[in-house]
Each structure stands twice: as C-alpha cells, then as structure tokens.
Amino acid sequence: MKTNKLAQVALLLWGVTIAVLLWFFLRGSTAAGTDGRTAIMLHPAERELVLSEMRGLLVATQGILEGANQGDIPRIIKAARAGGMAGTAGVNPALMAKLPLEFKALGMSIHHEMDEIAKAADDGRPTTELLKMTSDTLTKCVACHAAWQLKTN
C-alpha cells in the first residue's frame, strides 16, 4: 500500500516535470515585446547569430531574384542553396531551446524551401515557377517579422 502511494507520487512528479519541460519547449524564452509583437529574449551573441542568419536569407533572396532577372540559373542555385539547411549550422541546442516551437518551425521551413528552390532550379524548372516559390517563401518572412522581435537579456 505504502509503496503504491510512493509510486503514485513519483508518477505525478514525473508528469509535472514533463509538463513543465514541454511548456518551456513550446514557449521558448519569450516576453511581451515593445511594439505589440512577442519578444524572444536572447544573449547578445545569440541575437547577433540569428540576425546574421537573417542577413544571409536576404542575400539568398536577392541572389535568386538577380539570377532570375539575368536568366542565370547557376546563380539561383548557388544563392538558394546558401539559404538552405546548410546555413543553420551555427545554431546550438541552448539557442534552440530559447526559440519558441512555432518560430523554429517557420525558420526551418524557410531553409527547407530554399533548398527546394535550389533543387527546382537544378531540375530545370521554368523561372516563373522559381519566382512563385520564392514569393511564397517571402510571405513567411513577412509573417514571422510581424509576430516576433529579438531582445537581449
């Protein structure tokens, strides 16, 4: 009987721990932002890392559009690939834990789509299709920027 109660308490504690961990995992390190958006709280170096990844995404987007304008398919492939999953190498587990799940999912889908654009260009898909894919991806840049800001603590 006594062991049974102990087991129940242990199970309950275990459940609470999992629930708390899950809550942190989903929510990340966030606070109310200064302009109506949700702020993600990072160390200065982490914020700089995310922002440099962002500038990389802008460079990739510019490269894709310039390549499309000039009919330069290798330029599109190179630019899109640089914005793909390969560009996420610097993100460590501590930083990952601070980013809310929704933010990570959106960020990952962008990198994935950049790889898809590179592949489509490599497969000889028409430029109009590549531009449509890029435009769809840019919608996600806009959506994410509308929802989150990066602050330091």
Shortest reach from residue 142's CB to ligand HEC, in Å: 8
Q: Which of residues 70-99 bind ligand HEC (CB under 6 A)?
A: none
38: Cβ contacts below 8 Å, ≥ 6 apart: 30, 31, 32, 100, 147, 148, 149
Shortest reach from residue 124's CB to ligand HEC, in Å: 23
100 touches ligand HEC (CB under 6 A): no
Q: Which of residues 32-51 bind ligand HEC (CB under 6 A)?
A: 51
Asked if residues 99 and 40 have their Cβ atoms less than 8 Å apart, the reply is yes
140 touches ligand HEC (CB under 6 A): yes
How many residues touch ligand HEC under the rule CB under 6 A: the total is 18
Helix (H) or strand (E) holding 39: strand 38-42
As given in the structure block, the two tokens for residue 63 are 């490269």
A 10 A CB-CB count for 63 gives 20
Residues of this chain that bind ligand HEC (CB under 6 A): 51, 54-55, 57-58, 61, 103, 106-107, 110, 137, 140-141, 144-145, 148-150
